[in-house]
Amino acid sequence: MSNTNKPVPGEETFYPLNEPAIGEVYRDVGVYPQNTKVPALFQPLTLKGVTFKNRIFTAPMCQYSSYNGYATDWHLVHIGGLATRGTGAVCMEATAVVAEGRISPEDLGIWSDSHIPPLERIVRFAHAQGTKIGIQLAHAGRKASTLSTWVHSDIAKSRVADTNVAQENENGWPNRVYGPSEIPFAHDYPKPIPMTEQDIQEVEGAFATAIERCKKAGFDFIEIHAAHGYLMHEFVSPLSNVRTDQYGGSLENRLRFPLRVIKRCRSAWSKPLFVRISAADWAEGPEKVGDEWKQWGIEQSTIFVKKMEEIGVDLVDCSSGGNWSEQKLPIGPGYQVPFAEALKKACPNLIISAVGLITDPHQAESYLQSGKADVISLARELIRNPHWPIYAAQELGVAVHVANQYQRGWTRMLTPQKKE
């Protein structure tokens, strides 16, 4: 038996090899009898031949830390840190397929081949740690050219800018913001230019081109951003889309452009394809009055998701809100899970991810055990506690592999329990 500190094979630099992968359950129940029954959170999931070691996924989190769309060492450390702490998959933040599709001037981009090398570096690091990594492809639509969150205001609201618009002298492009209709998100947001047929086709093509760049970077999965009031969500919601052509009015017309993009991406991408949606606008009043759709909600979302399933989407990441500036969210633990549950009931064979103030491991496990979702996606909780997957294993009484370098901090979880 060799006592060598084994390296990850094929890497130019030295990384200790983790066997099994970080966050993966130890399968030898002779050593770890507590692993005889594995919690649902730690069951592997295979999609399109790609196996995710557990059901705890890192949701995309905007970092507002790019220059001209390029990933930096901040992204390497942020994503790399999560990739070393047991998450089953990590997804990079909203990444614009065209320059004017960024949310802020500091957003990631993938509109140029020159964006590929720094992304590839991050992908290689995640893979060296045994973690699957994806990227969220996005276009901000009418919410583009806005200030980074902390530039607009701090958490304490001790300072607040008088506008959300990033002006040209602030690296913005307020006169080149596009959307389905000439309706700004709010009074202090840019006024969008209604997209022409040519504009729509160019954005569709940009998503397809971005797919090819994702292949070169080596990503394991792609998520299309159709949520939170960005371009795809703007097209499907009657609150933001008042067009009278083939892209507006009826539900079929409002779904036309997003479904066309998703279908184009599916045909170009053989690995897992995810789509994030907002299941509801959270505006006042009902989703539908008589035969007229008033706002976006779960009934239309269900129709949308069924069409995605027909196209061959592998996972729907179910969020909500972001398209109505006066939304009133019933914030509380798991407040968005009922939407995921409704979609799972409507599409039992489609993988559904739940997100939104899920912080307790037992809470997360209960959603999977009861069939309300298949995957749990975390964002803010992973900011507070990047080691949450390991903590969850400890709380649920199962032993999982911890990065070799961090094992001394998790001796209680890694100690074999006595056989009963």
Q: Round to whole Å and give the CA distance between 307 and 296.
A: 16
Give per-residue pLDDT as tens, 354-407. 999 999 999 999 999 999 999 999 999 999 999 999 999 999 999 999 999 999
Spatial CB neighbours of 241, under 8 Å, sequence gap ≥ 6: 180, 181, 234, 235, 247, 248, 254
Give the SS3 label for residue 50: strand
A 10 A CB-CB count for 160 gives: 9
**Phi-psi region at 152: left, alpha or beta (left = phi > 0; alpha = psi -120 to 50):** alpha
A 10 A CB-CB count for 413 gives: 20
Q: Round to whole Å and give the CA distance between 200 and 180.
A: 9
Residue percentage of the chain with pLDDT more than 70: 99
For range 20-33, the mean pLDDT:
96
pLDDT band for 331, please (50, 70, 90 cuts). Answer: confident
Planar angle of CA 378, 405, 10, nearest 5 degrees: 90
pLDDT band for 162, please (50, 70, 90 cuts). Answer: very high
Of residues 222, 297, 307, the one with CA closest to residue 259:
307
The reply to whether 282 falls in a domain is: yes
The reply to whether 415 falls in a domain is: no
pLDDT band for 2, please (50, 70, 90 cuts). Answer: confident
Bridge partners of 58, per DSSP, are 90, 378
Quote the domain boundaries for residue 299: 45-388
The reply to whether 6 falls in a domain is: no
Question: Does the pLDDT of residue 170 top 90, yes or no?
Answer: yes
The reply to whether 30 falls in a domain is: no
The reply to whether 37 falls in a domain is: no
Please count the structural domains in the chain. 1
The reply to whether 19 falls in a domain is: no
Q: What is the pLDDT of residue 67?
A: 96
- Residues designated as active site: 230
Looking at every residue in the chain, the average pLDDT score rounds to 97
Strands (E), 263-416: 273-278, 288-289, 292-293, 315-319, 351-354, 375-378
The reply to whether 327 falls in a domain is: yes
For range 339-368, the mean pLDDT:
97
Query: What is the CATH classification number for the domain harbouring 352?
Result: 3.20.20.70
Give per-residue pLDDT as tens, 281-311. 999 999 999 999 999 999 999 999 999 999 9
The reply to whether 15 falls in a domain is: no
